[in-house]
Amino acid sequence: MYEPLENALGYKFQRMELLEQALTHRSHAPSTGSPNNERLEFLGDAVLQLVVSTHLYKKFPHLPEGQLAKIRALLVSQPTLADLGRRLKLDTFLKVGKGEELTGVRQRDSVLCDVVEAVYGAIFLDGGLEAAQPVILSHLPEWDQDQLPIIDAKTTLQEHFQQRTQKTPTYTLAGEEGPPHNKQFTVEVWFEDELLGRGFGRSKKEAAQAAARAALANLDLI
């Protein structure tokens, strides 16, 4: 049943119940009595942070902590992980409740991001860090020195408009949903009356950066 997913992950589970739990949304669990993926998500988030931090520390030995933190924030951001979840087709394996199924929960960035982290947590419990690390690293987009200036998308976008108009874009909170421990924010970036981009994230800061990156892409600046 899960062989296509294991092939996509590049990892074979020894304890299949861990993978099943990672793919169980909280809306499905109450009706079956099975555990949901929230605890695995909590663990997987920590494993992801450790693996990415170690990787960046070794790859960019001369970068200061602030730059490393910005790269890491982008690599583990909700949009990045949600895109990965779609590429892995995690939405097709996710178990959700009947009511949630009607709301399109499978395609929500916040849900896909959580499932990716839960799967990483499951791999860690199943095979340890030595198993989780290569899987996570195989999913990371490659970054090189030439890409570093656009990591802080808000600053890049602001400088673009300041140089040309002496004005700066404005950011507005367009939406907020989810429980307190798992919020999803939607931020829009505008220049005067023109919508430049929209972004999503687990914090307002992350969503604003995502909106700025979308604006840069829409303006063909990246």
- Residue 88: closest CA among 202, 6, 200: 6
Domain extents in the chain: 3-142, 152-218
Query: Is residue 192 flagged as an active site residue?
Result: no
- Residue 210: closest CA among 219, 202, 199, 220: 199
Q: Of residues 45, 126, 152, 206, which has the active-site annotation?
A: 45
pLDDT of residue 33: 65
CATH number of 152-218: 3.30.160.20
Question: What is the gyration radius of the CA atoms in the chain, in angstroms?
Answer: 19
Q: Which amino acid is at 160?
A: H
* Per-block mean pLDDT, blocks of 10 residues, the chain (222 long): 93 96 85 82 97 94 85 87 93 84 80 96 98 95 60 84 90 90 90 94 89 91 74
Query: Is residue 65 flagged as an active site residue?
Result: no
Q: Answer whether 58's CB lies under 8 Å from 46's CB.
A: no
Q: Answer whether 94's CB lies under 8 Å from 110's CB.
A: no
Q: Answer whether 198's CB lies under 8 Å from 178's CB.
A: no
pLDDT of residue 196: 96
Q: Of residues 20, 41, 114, 117, which has the active-site annotation?
A: 117
Alpha helices in the chain (DSSP H): 3-9, 16-22, 29-32, 38-59, 65-75, 78-87, 90-93, 98-101, 109-127, 129-139, 153-165, 204-218
Residue 165, classed as helix, strand or coil, is: helix
Q: Which amino acid is at 107?
A: Q
How far apart are alpha carbons 83 and 139 in whole angstroms?
11
pTM score of the predicted model: 0.71
Q: Answer whether 76's CB lies under 8 Å from 55's CB.
A: no
The CATH fold assigned to 3-142 is Ribonuclease iii, N-terminal Endonuclease Domain; Chain A (1.10.1520)
pLDDT of residue 66: 82
